[in-house]
């Protein structure tokens, strides 16, 4: 029961041909960029087009795609979407449309695992490769399930405090269709691809232990942001060389991201705010074992919310820095705490942050980052809107 606010729509019927039957040569890596409908309010379509243009610029600058294939799913409305292959020809990028989708043909339920599996099977058929990577661009609210009522207390206030000079983030919108993280995981696992080299969330608040644990069976790495990310999203022109590699240099991905956002401006004003991390999902089971021992060790002090590093604009907060929380909660158990520290280094091998983060949720605020582990946890949250849903997550069940 986990959520990223991904807006999707149904595919054509099962027997409808989507891609040609002839099999192309196998590439080293296929990158699939998934940019579904992001909602009527807070729509990100313009940002998506800028993202794709930045990717095309990077491809042209490096003289082509090499032995990498690039497929993109994007939508112009809640009822329309296309799957296309981006190719490099004559010194420029061209789009080869493989399929068009119309929501009027109800072949599958919206935001279902069946839809994700179906679409990924078309990707695998059109661009077979030795490894696959997936970039998801939309709105995100971490592990929070689609059914949860999680609008922040200050939502109405923030809607009335939009300053023309302030940038938006990828938090607003996506209210019509949402996909649970567990659904995404099943969709990937049940496809012929089965497991990704990485899943990159170009969405807000996705770098949390609950999401990483849910995805442990369908991707090796998860690249994401613990806080909100600006509407501009990932700086793909700078990141593409690594993201298109069969074995990305994740340290460089983090460095390039932070370098870009350290110097980011919007309407002529500096907005030097960004966070990023690379989570090794294969380490989540061992982290869950350590956390289970800590949670069951007894005599754990209650950690006041105000003492913790919050990583969001919700009221009360939902996402807290995991390292900060465990350091304070387990300080009376030095051996367990040291085991946690060692496992945290394995779980989050690469990360980066600016001195502060920016939130659009509570009326455009800048919040200092005094400690940063690159991953959040919701255990200490007193937000009643998510209390029951949190206890139903796979991670919580495994650690309590």
pLDDT digits (tens, 9 = 90+) for 315-334: 999 999 999 999 999 999 99
**C-alpha angle 327/369/173, rounded to 5°?**
110
193, burial (CB in 10 Å: exposed 0-12, middle 13-18, buried 19+) = buried
Task: Give the residues across from 88 on adjacent strands.
Answer: 93
pTM of the predicted protein model? 0.91
User: In this predicted structure, what is the pLDDT of residue 89?
Assistant: 96
Range list of H helices, the chain: 45-61, 113-126, 155-159, 181-189, 209-214, 236-243, 250-262, 284-295, 322-329, 334-347, 387-391, 394-399
Tens digit of each residue's pLDDT (9 = 90 or more) over 174-223: 556 678 999 999 999 999 999 999 999 999 999 999 999 999 999 999 99
N residues, the chain: 400
Distance, CA of 223 to CA of 350 (rounded, Å): 10
| Residue 232 pLDDT exceeds 70 | yes
Q: What Rg, from alpha-carbon coordinates, does the chain have?
A: 20
Q: How confident is the model at residue 103 (pLDDT cuts 50, 70, 90)?
A: low
- Which helix (H) or strand (E) element contains residue 367? strand 365-368
Q: Which two tokens stand for residue 7?
A: 């807006």
Q: How confident is the model at residue 37 (pLDDT cuts 50, 70, 90)?
A: confident
| Residue 369 pLDDT exceeds 60 | yes
């Amino acid at each position: 029961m986990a959520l990223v606010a991904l807006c999707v729509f149904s595919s054509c019927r099962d027997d409808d041909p989507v891609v040609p039957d002839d099999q192309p040569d196998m590439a080293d890596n296929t990158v699939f960029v998934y940019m579904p409908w992001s909602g009527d309010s807070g729509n990100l379509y313009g940002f998506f087009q800028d993202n794709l243009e930045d990717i095309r610029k990077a491809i042209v600058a490096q003289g082509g795609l090499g032995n990498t294939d690039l497929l993109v799913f994007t939508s112009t409305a809640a009822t329309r979407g296309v799957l296309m292959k981006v190719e490099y020809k004559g010194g420029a990028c061209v789009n080869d449309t493989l399929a068009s989708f119309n929501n009027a043909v109800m072949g599958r339920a919206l935001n279902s695992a069946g839809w994700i599996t179906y679409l990924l099977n078309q990707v695998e058929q059109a661009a077979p490769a030795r490894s696959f990577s997936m970039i998801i661009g939309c709105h995100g609210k971490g592990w929070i399930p689609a059914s949860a009522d999680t609008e922040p207390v200050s939502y109405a206030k923030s809607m009335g405090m939009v300053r023309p000079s302030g940038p938006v983030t990828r938090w607003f919108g996506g209210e019509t269709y949402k996909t649970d993280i567990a659904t995404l995981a099943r969709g990937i696992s049940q496809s012929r691809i089965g497991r990704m080299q990485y899943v990159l969330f170009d969405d807000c608040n996705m770098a949390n232990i609950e999401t990483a644990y849910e995805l442990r069976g369908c991707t090796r790495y998860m690249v994401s942001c613990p806080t909100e990310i600006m509407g501009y999203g990932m700086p793909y022109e700078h990141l593409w060389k690594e993201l298109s590699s069969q074995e990305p240099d994740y340290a460089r991905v983090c460095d390039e991201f932070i370098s870009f956002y350290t110097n980011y401006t919007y309407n002529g004003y500096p907005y030097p705010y960004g966070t990023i991390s690379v989570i090794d999902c294969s380490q989540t089971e061992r982290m869950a074992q350590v956390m289970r021992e800590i949670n069951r060790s007894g005599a754990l002090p209650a950690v006041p919310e105000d003492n913790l590093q919050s990583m969001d604009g919700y009221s009360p907060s939902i996402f807290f820095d995991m390292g900060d929380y465990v350091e304070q909660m387990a300080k009376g158990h030095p051996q367990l705490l040291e085991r946690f520290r060692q496992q945290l280094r394995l779980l989050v091998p690469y990360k980066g942050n600016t001195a502060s983060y920016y939130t659009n949720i509570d009326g455009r605020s800048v919040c200092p980052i005094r400690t940063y582990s690159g991953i959040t946890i919701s255990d200490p949250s007193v937000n009643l809107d998510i209390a029951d849903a949190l206890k139903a997550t796979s991670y919580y069940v495994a650690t309590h």
